[in-house]
Chains A and B, each alone.
Chain A
Amino acid sequence: MKYGFYVILMLFVLSSCVGEDYPNKNTPSDNFEALWRIMDEHYCFFDYKQQRLGVDWNEVHSRYAAKVNDKMDNLQLFEVLCQMLGELKDGHVNLGAAFDFGRNWSYYEDYPKNYNAELIEKYLGKGNDYQIASGLQYRILDDNVAYVRCESFENGIGDGNLSMMFDQLKSCSGMIVDVRNNGGGQLTAAHRLAARFTNEKLLTGYVCHKTGKGHGDFSSLEPEYLEPSDGIRWQKPAVVLTNRQCFSATNDFVKCMKLCPQVTVLGDSTGGGSGMPFTLELPNGWSVRYSAVVYYDAQKQHTEFGIAPDVEVSLSSEDVLKQKDSLIEAARKLLR
């Protein structure tokens, strides 16, 4: 039996199969079970959501399983699955099908908008009144305050673009960074912009991820820092304008900016979304997006439901009638 070892090894390997271990039939019940399990084993906020919203995921299963049967059509199933995911009130939890995108956007839909696109256009002006660098729209207002409109972090922001913009605005007495309705994008882009407002390395928060299928299986908290940029940094007062639609990477941007010296956050609370979303899928091909990685603030607190501003200001209807943006006007007063 001098070849016995090889034979045993081969038999062991042959008998070991790593395969799918989720329900895999394309039936409503299997799709439901697969979705429930994907969330159960991967979603990172169950303990927090139970604490804040009273969500018991096992109870959710029993409640929604009763609504699913194999005679349902896709639209009916989609509706039930979206309702189930909606229990988590997480803007990063979505169900994607060819005919619809399931979401719970109550983080901003249930609140005042504090945003009027027409008013912002009035401040920016027309044609070449304002400049655009790497997606950032900016101009110098009448009172020598720089106004920078950042409506997304989806596309990267170049360091060279930022340096050119800050160079253009260096004579201003202060800066308004308007990130209202910015739904997020790349964390690196958000941090690259925030890095222009600090001269020192800042502890901005902590990050951890799931290490197993249990609701409490997490890695240790690892600190996250904001390093000052090597390029031109803003040394004067700045105001960040926020509303409930500041979500995800923008929420993280506001978290960082709040720690920067000479920066004031003004407006409404952000929308939150402090989990980095991952994507998986169901047997029928629908995509499932869920929060997978947890970002805490510097006090190790969740920012999943938003960050409160330093100065709370709402967009008043009187100001709108006067073609004035209450938040921008309040920021200009702060910076004068």
Chain B
Amino acid sequence: MTKTMADIFKRKRLMATWWLLSAFICAFAQGTDQYDAKSSSVSELGVREHTWLVGGGFSNVLDSYLSPYIYKGGELRLMRETHRLTRMFWKENGNEHSDGNQFSSSSKGSEPRVTFQTLLDLHGAYLDSRAGNVHGWAGGVRYGLGWLYRLTPQKPVGSVSDGWTSTRPQRFSLAVGPMLSGYLGAVYNERNGNNPAQAKLDLMLDLSAACSYRFRLFHHPFALRYQLTIPFVGVAFSPNYGQSYYEAFSLGNYDRNAVFANFVNMPSMRHLLTLDVPLSRRSRTALRVGYAGEFMQSTFNKINYHSYSHCVMIGFTQSFRKL
């Protein structure tokens, strides 16, 4: 069989493509290594990590003040998180490592362990009744301030930033701590007359637990992170069982509208599972993909409420050094 000129050009094009792809992969892999090397050499206390995530998924909402039945629909979610290592519970012993990192010692108390976290979480859902003849809306915004205390000692065994408790290499980390969070939202039913909407407002002390695990796959570093947050105690707004908003807000007849909320009458939890893949050589940016699951429930004044949300999230996380 004789080779035609077209075959030769085709083969050359394939070879060129292959080399370009290989060069890109090598550059990418090299970039991640350099990124790690840089991150391990900076003071952790000056580093802030910012994350933006957007996502979509499904929502399942029940509010017996508006309907005894579940409404379901699509949901959009936007999250912004920041993490910053703090000096809280840290006994500085003055051991400064020769590489410039003063937190190299793994002994308890000699390294910063508390990460300060902020969370901004916006979501909105368009819902349908089970019969499909009524629509509704649900949405809100949550803002939280959290403090995560790392339980596991640092062991410099990995090579990639875990991106939340520390920029230091560490294969597995586990942290727990409180979070103060506030939520403002509403559920709206397009059909109802005098009970068309339900306001959602709470201020809670949450308990949070987070773990991260770093690993390499095909010479690429990844960081897997999971955070579980459970509202523990706080205060929430709810109308009374058959109370109208007209009574509460036009006539001023408040009736047990500020409710003591706790994990018994508000058994809820929020999950965030993410995977980080560092992107480039110097940008200190990682692609983050994940799952955000929110299971909010309450029974206040005999009004049953739940909002189950499942969203696939994607976004970026970036590390900044405070000057």
Contacts and interface: CB of A to CB of B under 8 A. Distances in A.
Interface in B20-61: none
B195 A279 contact: yes
Interface in A85-110: 98
Interface in A16-53: 16-22, 24, 26, 34, 38, 42, 44
B191 interface: yes
Given A10-B230, A213-B302, A285-B134, A278 B195 contact: yes
A202 interface: no
B177 to A, nearest CB: 11
Contact of A281 (B67, B209, B253): B67
Contacts of A187: 246
B207 A20 contact: no
Nearest to B132: A285
Interface stretch (B9-17, B104-112, B180-188, B235-243): B235-243
Main DSSP-derived SS at the B contact region: loop
A12 B251 contact: no
A20 B268 contact: no
Interface string B220-255: 000000001010100000001111101100110101
A116 B302 CA distance: 48
A195 to B, nearest CB: 14
Interface residues of B, number: 49
For A18, A280, A285, the residue with the greatest tally of chain B CB atoms inside 10 Å of its CB is A18
Nearest to B192: A279
A9 B230 contact: yes
B62 interface: yes
Interface stretch (B163-171, B293-301, B312-320): B293-301
B298 to A, nearest CB: 7
A22 B253 CA distance: 30
Main DSSP-derived SS at the A contact region: mixed
B53 to A, nearest CB: 23
Contacts of B280: none
For A9, A13, A26, A217, the residue with the greatest tally of chain B CB atoms inside 10 Å of its CB is A13
B268 A13 contact: yes
A174 interface: no
Contacts of A241: none
B130 interface: yes
Given A6-B176, A10-B230, A293 B62 contact: no
A209 B193 CA distance: 16
Contacts of A155: none
B68 interface: yes
A287 B191 contact: yes
B129 interface: yes
A292 interface: yes
Contact of A283 (B131, B230, B243, B305): B131
Contact of B241 (A10, A19, A210): A210
A22 B192 contact: no
Given A18-B306, A276-B194, A283 B130 contact: yes
A211 B154 CA distance: 54
A161 interface: no
A213 B303 CA distance: 11
B209 A6 contact: yes
Given A10-B269, A222-B247, A278 B263 contact: no
For A22, A285, A289, the residue with the greatest tally of chain B CB atoms inside 10 Å of its CB is A285
A219 interface: yes
A316 interface: no
A281 B151 CA distance: 50
Contacts of B295: 13
Nearest to A34: B68
Contacts of A6: 176, 207, 209
B251 A18 contact: no
Interface in A162-202: 187-188
B251 A224 contact: yes
A46 to B, nearest CB: 13
B304 interface: yes
Q: Which 7 pairs show the lowest CB-CB distances between chains A and B?
A: A285-B131, A210-B242, A16-B267, A18-B297, A279-B192, A22-B68, A222-B253
Given A13-B263, A281-B131, 9 more contacts: A10-B269, A18-B304, A21-B304, A22-B68, A276-B246, A278-B244, A279-B191, A279-B194, A281-B191
21 contacts: A6-B209, A9-B207, A10-B269, A13-B230, A13-B263, A13-B295, A16-B297, A18-B297, A19-B62, A19-B304, A22-B68, A38-B68, A98-B133, A212-B302, A280-B67, A280-B68, A283-B69, A285-B132, A287-B134, A287-B191, A292-B195
